[in-house]
Structure 1
Amino acid sequence: MARDTAVTRQKLLAAARQEFAALGVAGARVDRIAELAGVNKERVYGHFGSKEGLFASTVSAAMDELTEQVGKPGDDIAAWVGSVYDFHRERPELLRLLLWEALSCGGSELPGEERRADGYALKVDALAGRLGVEPGPGAAVVLLSLIGLAAWPNAVPQLARLIIGSRLDAEDSAEVIRSAVVDLASGLVKGIRSTGAPE
């Protein structure tokens, strides 16, 4: 019985990721999610309480997948940034979910915010240790900037296409962007190691 419950929950999360990434919280429909998952609509409410609860759980599961696949910054920070880029290129749903979350939640506190903030704090600490700087606000800004470098081209692929697309085909463009992202991250890391993190 517990296994069936876990399987149903996973099916719902997979279907919800697809629906929410495409349509956001307001546009997503619980009946479509249930149909995609092959379960009764009431299962959504039984597992997650509401559509908003399902959305929060979907984002959380996608973030956990990123953490599991990419981990914390290691010795080669630029390679880690490349891995973040690759993750988002191969699985653009997480960035779409985060953009929908930003639109629907604005500046208000997110469900599970403390848990997510704790996860980022671990990454800030790991990055600071690798850079040889204090794990304070400066290191946090560096982490945010490195994630931005890796994520932004995949969050707004239309900009990448408009800016670079006329010069290269899509596959070559992705490789050029990835290479530039890793090189920029490497230069940023070298600069911080020689001068320290921003205050």
Structure 2
Amino acid sequence: MAETPKGQQTRVKLLDAAQTEFSEHGLAGARVDRIAERSGVNKQRLYAYFGNKESLFSAVMTRVYQHMSQAVPIPTTENGLRAYVGEVFDYHRASGDLVRLLAWEGLHYRDRPIPDEKERETYYVHKTAALSIALGIDDPTAAARVLIALIGLASWPFIVPQQRRLMLGPDGDSEAGWALLRASIVAHGHSVIDNVLEGSV
């Protein structure tokens, strides 16, 4: 049976509240009571929709990944790939939930399988396939290594904002400071791409 409009609204309210709660407290520290209170939906309804806290966290992760892939699709051309690093940087600066949620997820699960493991693998298979086209290579594993490097460059200042603050000081938070950091990260991203295109990686 298809979900009613009211049911869809309830689901969105729960996901909105859960995304905020998980982003602030992680999976272990988040409380279902607070999510219910934030959403204005009773706790029993939350369990009826999502079953348990881990399933709710998984649904939030699916949603933030979908948002990211729509806002910053993986490019399939070299020029698009060169722009990608800056676009990912800009995305995380505007919306920090994804990197915080990924950090919490990593701390919680470490090397253990995550609940939506296969879906996440499929997501990255598609990304590395597109990246292979952009790089003109026929090696998904090599493309995956490049993707890890590019994502790492673009996201690290937001995963560990305290390091950025301590290293760059107060000027790092000015628009000029952010612009310099972005330019540096994009330049390093281009070096990674150039190494692949030149056959050095």
Identical positions, percent? 40
**Does residue 31 of the first structure (1) align with residue 33 of the second (2)?**
yes
Aligned to 1:129: 133
Alpha-carbon distance between aligned partners in 2 of 1:136 and 1:39, rounded to the nearest angstrom = 44
Cα pair distance change 1:66/1:168, threshold 3 Å: closer
Q: What letter is aligned with 1:50?
A: N
Check the 8 A contact 2:172/2:178 in 1, yes or no: no
Gaps of 5+ in 2: none
Partner of 2:198: helix, strand, or coil?
A: helix
Give 1:132 shift: 1.1
Give 1:170 shift: 3.4
Aligned residues, how many? 197
**Does residue 173 of the first structure (1) align with residue 177 of the second (2)?**
yes
Root-mean-square deviation (CA), in Å? 1.4
Q: What letter is aligned with 2:76?
A: G
Alpha-carbon distance between aligned partners in 2 of 1:110 and 1:50, rounded to the nearest angstrom = 14
Cα pair distance change 1:20/1:94, threshold 3 Å: same
Q: Residue by residue, what CA displacement relative to the aligned partner does 1:146-175 show, whole Å, maximum 9, x if unpaired? A: 110111111111111111124544332221
Q: What letter is aligned with 1:8?
A: T
Check the 8 A contact 1:24/1:100 in 2, yes or no: yes
Give 1:40 shift: 1.0
Check the 8 A contact 2:16/2:39 in 1, yes or no: yes
| From 30, 48, 51, the counterpart of 1:49 | 51
Alpha-carbon distance between aligned partners in 1 of 2:96 and 2:88, rounded to the nearest angstrom = 11
Give 1:23 shift: 0.5
Partner of 1:195: helix, strand, or coil?
A: coil
Aligned to 1:108: 112
Alpha-carbon distance between aligned partners in 2 of 1:169 and 1:15, rounded to the nearest angstrom = 28
TM-score normalized by structure 2?
Answer: 0.93
**Does residue 152 of the first structure (1) align with residue 156 of the second (2)?**
yes
**Does residue 163 of the first structure (1) align with residue 158 of the second (2)?**
no
Gaps of 5+ in 1: none
Alpha-carbon distance between aligned partners in 2 of 1:188 and 1:85, rounded to the nearest angstrom = 16
